Structure 1
């Protein structure tokens, strides 16, 4: 997986991502492979995050959602 950190919009149902909108493209989430909570590097002032490893067709992405303030999503890693 290559590192990135690009902001995206994510549609959520029942607490899990169901669609990723990146630029002009939309990717339906076909499978949530893993979910975890990352506490952030508090000593650097990073907020905690909700993290999801998802499959969108042939694309696998690690999505992070900042929890303070809740809502900002970004792609932490991606593999196609």
Structure 2
């Protein structure tokens, strides 16, 4: 997996990601391969977040969603 660490827009249905928009391109998420909760490194001020490994067309990607008022989603990694 290759680190990306870029903010993305994510559409949800029933609380699960269904589409991501990255670099102006939309990717329909066809499958959530895995999901886990990361508690965050509290000593660095990180918030807990949900992590999703998804299949979106030919793209296998790890999306992360940070708890908090910003409702921030980012593309953490892609399969290279």
Higher strand fraction (1 or 2): 1
Aligned length: 80
TM-score using structure 1 length: 0.94
Unpaired runs of 5+ residues, structure 2, are none
Please report the RMSD computed on the Cα atoms of aligned residues, expressed in angstroms.
1.1
Structure 1: 5+ residue runs without aligned partners? none
TM-score, normalising length: structure 2: 0.94
- Following TM superposition, the consecutive aligned residue runs of length 4 or more in structure 1 with deviations greater than 3 angstroms are none
Deviations 1:9-54 (A, max 9, x none): 0000111100001121000001000111110000100011011000
Q: Does 1:51 align with 2:56?
A: no
